[in-house]
Structure 1
Amino acid sequence: MTLSTYTPGLYASFKHQTYTHRQLVPVPSKGLLRIERGAVRTVTWSDQGTAITLGYWGVGDVIGQPLSGVEPYQIECKTHVEISYIPANLCDRSLDEIFKHIQQTQALFYILRTESLRDRLLQLLVWLGQKFGREVAQGVLIDLRLTHQELSEAIGITRITVTRLMGRLEEEGFIDRTRPQYIVLTSRL
């Protein structure tokens, strides 16, 4: 898991809001949001109405439309989430988190440019495991409930292709999906 350089004292006085799984977080037009607990994904849509995942974000990450510049911009809770608001005039205190946001965005862009669809999916799963994973007996459990549709939206391929590739990765021994919507990266990786 990635550790944040977040300093709690800087944000202690900020108001925290809580949200439930699948709930949408209101997006402020100015300032940023910092994830204190839980995980979210940010999403936009193509002109044809296709959902495009912009990223998955967890504890210590800062997010917001000003970092993206993309319209529309939506924040969907993947777990129960606690978020604090960082006013625009105090965003300079979050430079480490902003740099981390840029690095994560670049890592996802790199994954998206992988030509082999199988490798693209596997790289996304490894990235999610590093960010949201926890050790279990079989390997690393990605501690997010992810649908094949959400995975397809994250890497720009069809849901059917994700389903087929997930089966292939399981046959090859890279993942274990004995529990629906939970993915374990096996120690084979």
Structure 2
Amino acid sequence: MSFRYLPDDPISSIRMPTGQTILLDPASSNRISCLEVLEGVARVYCPCQETEGMTLAFLQAGDLLRTDRLCSEGVCLEALTTFSFKRNSENTDEIGFDAVNEWTLQLLRIRHLGSAEQRLQALLALLVNRLGRRCGNWCDLPFRLTHERIGELIGSTRVTSTRLISRLRSAELLNIPSGEQILRLAPKLVENSPLAA
């Protein structure tokens, strides 16, 4: 696992290119109350060796990440699109909505669905409803996830994820445009999710 550390020096904002990962070390986070996402989408995950990079949440513009609730190993932010954030000095006791807790709850709900097909459909619908947008005949997700990452999120193997994604592509419910970093989903796939958004 390769990542860089968040600098201790005060910086107005930090910009990360797609694919870069940064570790939020709890040892230095006591001076920071939370991070505010300015633009882009990032995956929040646990760097612990035991959990093998378990995804906790996805963040987008406007979300706050409370750094006072990190595990002893910290958390990592992986930029799925060009991503920027700043340190926010707001009093975290006054922040009502916790994006990480909400995402973790939704991902846990998905993991408890009966079949891998249902879990994949619910995951894709959740991602599009929270991070995507409707564009004509498709719903666009502004980033791609590897089949291995999808397997981790739905509690299956990479092979199972690849097989399920191939089925969706064959049924023309999922389109992966070449040369672009987006996923396109048919609205009926999103609308018929086994879990409400």
**TM-score after normalising by structure 2:** 0.75
Deviation at 1:82, TM superposition (A): 1.3
* Contact residue 176 and residue 183 of structure 1 kept, 8 A: yes
Q: Which structure shows the higher helix fraction? A: 1
Match of 1:91 in 2: 92
* Contact residue 48 and residue 73 of structure 2 kept, 8 A: no
Deviation at 1:166, TM superposition (A): 0.4
CA deviations 1:95-130 (Å, max 9, x no partner) are: 1332x4422321111011112101101111111101
CA deviations 1:76-98 (Å, max 9, x no partner) are: 111111101124x72234x1332
Provide the C-alpha distance between the structure 2 equivalents of 1:70 and 1:170, rounded to a whole number of angstroms. Answer: 41
Deviation at 1:72, TM superposition (A): 4.9
* Of 159-168 and 62-71, the range deviating more from structure 2: 62-71
- Secondary structure of 1:55 counterpart: strand
Match of 2:185 in 1: 185
Deviation at 1:142, TM superposition (A): 0.7
Provide the C-alpha distance between the structure 1 equivalents of 2:146 and 2:58, rounded to a whole number of angstroms. Answer: 14
Provide the C-alpha distance between the structure 2 equivalents of 1:70 and 1:160, rounded to a whole number of angstroms. Answer: 33
Within the candidate set 19, 35, 44, 1:22 is matched to 19
Match of 2:54 in 1: 52
One-letter amino acid matched to 1:50: E
Deviation at 1:179, TM superposition (A): 3.2
Deviation at 1:65, TM superposition (A): 4.8
Provide the C-alpha distance between the structure 1 equivalents of 2:142 and 2:103, rounded to a whole number of angstroms. Answer: 18
Answer yes or no: is 1:37 the counterpart of 2:39: yes
CA deviations 1:136-186 (Å, max 9, x no partner) are: 233101111222122222223211111101011223343223437532111
Give the direction of change, closer, same or farther, for the CA distance of 1:179–1:119 in structure 2 (3 Å limit): farther
* Contact residue 44 and residue 70 of structure 1 kept, 8 A: no
Provide the C-alpha distance between the structure 2 equivalents of 1:72 and 1:16, rounded to a whole number of angstroms. Answer: 20
* Contact residue 81 and residue 142 of structure 2 kept, 8 A: no
- Counterparts of residues 97-176 of structure 1 (less than 5 Å): 97-98=97-98, 100-176=99-175
Deviation at 1:68, TM superposition (A): 4.6
- Secondary structure of 1:96 counterpart: coil
CA deviations 1:1-41 (Å, max 9, x no partner) are: xxxxxxxxxxxxx8222121122234152322111111110
Structure 1 runs, 4 residues or longer, greater than 4 Å off: 45-49
**Overall identity of the aligned pairs, in %:** 24
Match of 2:82 in 1: 80
Provide the C-alpha distance between the structure 2 equivalents of 1:108 and 1:49, rounded to a whole number of angstroms. Answer: 15
Provide the C-alpha distance between the structure 1 equivalents of 2:118 and 2:103, rounded to a whole number of angstroms. Answer: 18
Give the direction of change, closer, same or farther, for the CA distance of 1:74–1:101 in structure 2 (3 Å limit): closer
Give the direction of change, closer, same or farther, for the CA distance of 1:26–1:72 in structure 2 (3 Å limit): closer
Give the direction of change, closer, same or farther, for the CA distance of 1:97–1:34 in structure 2 (3 Å limit): farther
Match of 2:3 in 1: none
Superposition RMSD in Å:
2.5
Match of 1:69 in 2: 71
